[in-house]
Structure 1
Amino acid sequence: MSIKNEKLELRNKMISVRSKISTEERMIKSEQICSHIIQYIEGTLNLQQPINILMYMPFKNEVDITPFMSWCWKSGGTVFLPKVIQNYQMEIHLIKNLNEVEVGKFGIFEPKPNTSICNDIAQINVVIVPGIAFNQSGSRLGFGGGYYDRFFSRYDQLGLKVPYKIAVAYDLQIVEDVPIEKHDYMMDQIITEKGILLK
């Protein structure tokens, strides 16, 4: 079986597994995950500047990181959100509160058109990355669009340091093996409701 087909098979399986999470369970696990992210950023990363972080707006039963987003704003951090544009690219926008997002064409909340575009991606030092499945080596299986890998490759193309990549997931999304290709970026850390995964 080709890697592409292996990815498709695992993606379909994990989407089904994740769909069984109840709304109540999602809320509880998401709050636990947000708490672990805050503890990790405060206690381990020791950033020497206010955090400039790219996040995502949760879609369907993805981990809800909006409580962590609120913590960032209260802590003086800068929050960015992606907006999908043509050619499978993500345009990065500065977001000051959740009133600055709206439902986009894919049904996903995204920055409103009047929000500021981030033209200097070098200022982003952390990215919170969603996904379908992960393993204990930091491999990630996304939705198949390649948006995040394409975004991270921009740093390499510009000779910039790639931001610290923190994946968030429910523990049930951690699998033994994730098929990867050479263009797939590894995660620096994975955080579930049980805590940090990569030591």
Structure 2
Amino acid sequence: MKKQLRQQIIARRDALAKTVREAKSEIIVNKLQGLPAWQQAGTIMSYVSFGSEVATPALIKAALAGGKRVAVPLCVRDGRRLIASEVLAFPDDLQPGTWGILEPRPESLRPLDPKLIDLVIVPGVAFDRAGNRLGYGAGYYDRFLATLRPETRTIALAFAEQIVPDVYPEAHDRPVDMVITDTEIIQP
């Protein structure tokens, strides 16, 4: 069920014209930057978008320009875990890594204690109105989110086309605090 839903939503997202995705991404990023959770966060972690995901480069650049500490994930296949790595120069500190997603270069790896992060921008394939997310199926983010402070905010960015009635969450799945789309802000 999850596998079919994942394929269906990725196909729906891929079907959006590039110009439409870019326009929607800009709306979503602007909404996020207007929120107190963003404005008050001193240290953020954001996924680096790839494929047809909501684009995050403008967000990462704005955070750095605004004086925030910024981390991006490094996927460690052994143990299926994420390392939050501080970025000082975007995208110069990064190179294609696991699955072709931009990740920190070995010489630019600056591990950051997850307990220092105030806000995590979480990727996902689909989301429901309870904040549950359907990821890509490897559980990297569910394991990582479990290491954060309880007060760390988690926000997902998604196109309206990625909101579904049910993502069939399991016990180990971690919901997000908020989902921002181009048409609404969902706060479970």
TM-score by length of 2: 0.92
Distance, in Å, in 2 between the alignment partners of 1:162 and 1:90 is 20
Q: Structure 1 residue 58 and structure 2 residue 58: aligned?
A: no
Task: State the partner residue of 2:131.
Answer: 138
Identity of aligned residues (%): 32
Change (3 A) 1:45 1:94: closer
Q: Tell me by how many angstroms 1:162 deviates.
A: 5.7
The answer to whether the 8 A contact 1:190-1:198 is kept is yes
> Contact 1:36/1:195 (CA < 8 Å) preserved in 2?
no
3-state DSSP of counterpart to 1:161: coil
Residue aligning to 1:180: 169
C-alpha distance in 2 between matches for 1:46 and 1:64: 19
Tell me which of 139, 145, 170 is aligned to 2:159.
170
CA pair 117-39 structure 1, distance change in 2 beyond 3 A = same
Q: Is the 8 A contact 1:135 1:175 kept in 2?
A: yes
Structure 2 unaligned residues grouped into runs of 5+:
none
1:23 aligned partner: 18
Residue 40 of structure 1 corresponds to which residue in structure 2?
35
| Preserved contact between residue 152 and residue 162 of structure 1 (Cα < 8 Å) | no
Cα deviation for residue 116 of structure 1 reads 4.0
RMSD across aligned positions (CA): 1.6
Instruction: Using the TM superposition, give the Cα deviation of residue 96 of structure 1 relative to its aligned residue in structure 2, in angstroms.
Output: 1.3
What is the CA-CA distance between 1:120 and the residue it aligns to? 1.9
Question: TM-score when scaled to structure 1?
Answer: 0.87
User: Who is 1:190 aligned against?
Assistant: 179
Asked if the contact 2:71/2:112 (under 8 Å) is kept, the reply is: no
Shift of 1:67: 1.0
CA shift, 1:105, in A, is 4.1
- 1:15-67, Cα deviation, whole Å (9 max, x unpaired): 111110111111111111110010113xx6662xx520110111111110111
- What amino acid is the match of 1:172? E
Q: Structure 1 CA distance, aligned partners of 2:161 and 2:83?
A: 31
Return the offset for 1:117. Answer: 2.6
Which residue of structure 1 aligns with residue 81 of structure 2? 89
User: Do structure 1's residue 69 and structure 2's residue 60 form an aligned pair?
Assistant: yes
Runs of 4+ with deviation above 3 angstroms: none
